[in-house]
Amino acid sequence: MYISSLSIRNFRNFKCARFKFNDGINTIIGENGSGKTNLFFAIRILIDDTLPRYIRFNSTDFNRSLGSNWAGHWIIISIVFDELDASEEAQALAVQSSGHMDTNTKGSYAVYFRPKYQFRKELFDYSQTLAKDAAGLKLLLDKISLDNYETVYLSRGSADFCDEATYKQYIGDFETIEFPDPDQKEELIFGTWLPKEINIHNEVSCTFIKALRDVESDLKSYANNPLINLLRGKERTVAVAKQQEIIDSIDSLNEQISSLDEVKKVKKGIDRSLKETVGTTYAPNINLKSELPNEMEKLFQSLKLWVGDPDDEGYEGRLWELSLGGANLIYLSLKLLEYENVKADKIANFLLIEEPEAHIHTHIQKTLFNNLGTNQTQILISTHSTHISSVSKISRVNILCRGKQQAAVFHPSNNLTDIEIGRIERYLDAVRSTLLFAKGILLVEGDAEQILIPEMFQKVFGLSLDEIGLSLVNIGSTGFKNVARLFHTDRIQKNCAIVTDSDLSIVPLADDPDEDSDEEKKCRASQKSGAERKTDLDAFCKGNKYLKPYYATYTFEVDLLMNANSHEYVSCLPKIYKTPGNIATSKARLEDDDVAVAGSEVLRLAEKFGKGWLALLAAEQLVYNTYIPDYILEAIAFSSAHLNPASRAKAVRHRLKSFKGHAKSSDYSAAMSFVTRDKENQELVDDFCKVFPEDQLTQFLAMI
């Protein structure tokens, strides 16, 4: 049995969230504050016996989108199980569509935090009145406090309360003031009570390994120590003759220790002190004996782990001498072994691991994830590590994204074929998997774009792409589809811009291709493939609001150069050529207004010295007024729809500082007189756009 899905309604940062899981290992990916800890707590409320049996929710546990209007709403957390066996315990969870008790492989278990019957009845009665209105409903809801709520655990329910229509039908529609009759039990929808003899906590095992767990303390605990659980009962399998031999040895050892002169001397000292203190009449008789346990059960419980670093062969020490990460690895291994060997009688075992990257370095993270597989235990790992996400199968990934007062959950493999999933999984590495965490994504063709676009954006606007949550991914070709299909209404709902080239010929082409020179043939072929690629890419992105392509008219290098950026390339020439003549010749060509001349020269340099190397040199020559080509600005703007006022204001301050630092700039005087003090972020941005309507930042902000 394993958890196949989880639905959360109105709990903390989850207004309406659905998670999908598979047996074995599953990954929950998300940035800080996206709700990974809340997700684990929601699961633990239902199946972790270390938490109170009946959780008392607070008003702050309601989703923030409800604000102060939480009264009357329900918190609902529901788990769906799959592959239930035929046992009575598992079938107590089975979802039934009829009264038949045939074996069902799907089951459910849910917790409802809801108003008590009296108040649900009042809401229903009020909804039946003709004079009902919003004001009257508010008066009724204002009477409801947390004391009027109850926590109920039910199994075998079939409803998905993340479905808005279902929630309104069975919980209530607060807008139309329609509430259901609580006398209608709707057991097929909500579920039923578990039989008294069955307790879910006795039937499943759940361990939560938090990010900074005190493993040393857990391994000293009698109740939570997996080592003790693994050893418990093993003493009974030791041969009787062997047991007696060990016990006799310990009895002899205890006698030897007790009879040591040093021990006898201490014993006599204590005895003398007592008699001198209380007198010989009242002083108790004392002895000092060794009490090494001579019972096999206690002997097994006294076994302790000794550990050694693999690089320090021959040395063994106590557990607390290990790093936190090493101790956690040992604890994790013990727990998995305990589940497989000791708790195999449970109908399911669950291991929740929170952010293992908090104390485990990169290589171990990846190895750990690859080797964690077990048939006995379902494992859920939360992470913001790109190393773990890079080896995660996207069919087993849930992506959490922060939103306004609620988290969004995305399933990147939804409605993809196995072939498409496989291609994406092979492509994602620790660098490219950053796109799973980003707020917006920029896919580019090659090294030059990867190097120069982030540098240009930061130099011109004072913001890094990382700072604004934008992930730029170098595809290394024009094969964007494999990765781009992740961004879709069915999967990851984040804006993804594709930046590529149209490859329009930089030299005039005759009508008759037979008249082409070798260079013209090459340009014509590139232009044709560019047009075909554009047609194909446009069709691929059509109707997908999360995906949009942006094209250079020619190529990235040519478009960058022809947007009045000859300075950036000309300044590189002394690092490319040693002779003044070569520098002068190349400079003249780069500064030519004819794209056939300038474009050919920059492409020649890129081909001769490498696009990546030329981009690195050009990046060192960027200035505050380097002009970012429009198609790149538009692509970044599309992927940065989330850009907040604070980031916009920071860019404004950077631009103003840049203007003030260049007295010859045409914007110098306006910048010197621009007032920034005591202005709120949005006011500052609005004023900047009015004073500098032609500036690149103004244009960029208008595109968002």
Percent of the chain with pLDDT over 70: 87
For the stretch 406-438, pLDDT in tens is: 899 999 999 999 999 888 888 777 567 888 889
Counting DSSP H helices and E strands in the chain, the numbers are: 30, 17
For the stretch 317-329, pLDDT in tens is: 565 555 555 566 6
The DSSP result for 412-430, as a single string, is TTTT--HHHHHHHHHH--T
Query: Six-digit token pair at 224?
Result: 């939570």
User: What would the mean pLDDT of 499-512 be, rounded to a whole number?
Assistant: 94
Report for 195-209, 246-260, 640-654: range of highest mean pLDDT = 640-654
Is the pLDDT assigned to residue 278 strictly greater than 70? yes
For the stretch 44-89, pLDDT in tens is: 999 998 898 888 899 999 999 998 999 999 999 999 999 998 888 8
Report for 265-279, 381-395, 413-427: range of highest mean pLDDT = 413-427
Query: Six-digit token pair at 379?
Result: 């494992």
- CA angle, residues 524, 527, 528, in degrees to nearest 5: 85
Task: Confirm if 666 and 659 have CB atoms less than 8 A apart.
Answer: no
The continuous run of DSSP H or E covering 379 comes out as: strand 378-383
User: Phi, psi at residue 550, to the nearest 5°?
Assistant: -135, 135
User: What would the mean pLDDT of 466-488 be, rounded to a whole number?
Assistant: 92
- Higher local confidence (pLDDT), 148 or 298: 148
Task: Confirm if 462 and 654 have CB atoms less than 8 A apart.
Answer: yes
Is the pLDDT assigned to residue 27 strictly greater than 50? yes
pTM, full prediction: 0.79
Structure confidence at residue 87 (pLDDT): 86
Is the pLDDT assigned to residue 548 strictly greater than 90? yes
Structure confidence at residue 271 (pLDDT): 81
Average pLDDT of every residue of the chain:
88
Is the pLDDT assigned to residue 312 strictly greater than 80? no
Taking Cα atoms as reference points, which of 3, 128, 16 lies closest to residue 66? 16
Structure confidence at residue 422 (pLDDT): 87
For the stretch 555-577, pLDDT in tens is: 999 999 999 999 999 999 999 99
The continuous run of DSSP H or E covering 647 comes out as: helix 645-660
- Higher local confidence (pLDDT), 535 or 421: 535
Banded pLDDT at 99 (limits 50, 70, 90): very low
User: Phi, psi at residue 525, to the nearest 5°?
Assistant: -65, -40
Is the pLDDT assigned to residue 102 strictly greater than 60? no
Is the pLDDT assigned to residue 188 strictly greater than 60? yes
- Higher local confidence (pLDDT), 182 or 335: 182
- Domain ranges for the chain, please list them: 2-21+36-199, 235-303, 438-633, 644-703
C-alpha atoms less than 13 angstroms from C-alpha of 117 in its C-beta half-sphere: 4
Query: Cα 296 from chain centroid?
Result: 47
Percent of the chain with pLDDT over 90: 61
Cα-based distances in Å from 683 to 463, 637, 703? 19, 20, 18
Structure confidence at residue 13 (pLDDT): 94
Structure confidence at residue 235 (pLDDT): 67
57 exposed, middle or buried (CB, 10 Å; 0-12, 13-18, 19+)?
middle
For the stretch 217-240, pLDDT in tens is: 666 665 667 777 776 767 677 777
Residue 550's identity, in one-letter code, is: Y
Task: Confirm if 31 and 384 have CB atoms less than 8 A apart.
Answer: yes
* Helix 447-461 and helix 645-660, axial crossing angle in degrees, nearest 10: 80
Banded pLDDT at 215 (limits 50, 70, 90): low
Structure confidence at residue 361 (pLDDT): 53
CA 458, CA 636: separation in Å to the nearest integer?
12
Is the pLDDT assigned to residue 396 strictly greater than 60? yes
Task: Confirm if 272 and 236 have CB atoms less than 8 A apart.
Answer: no
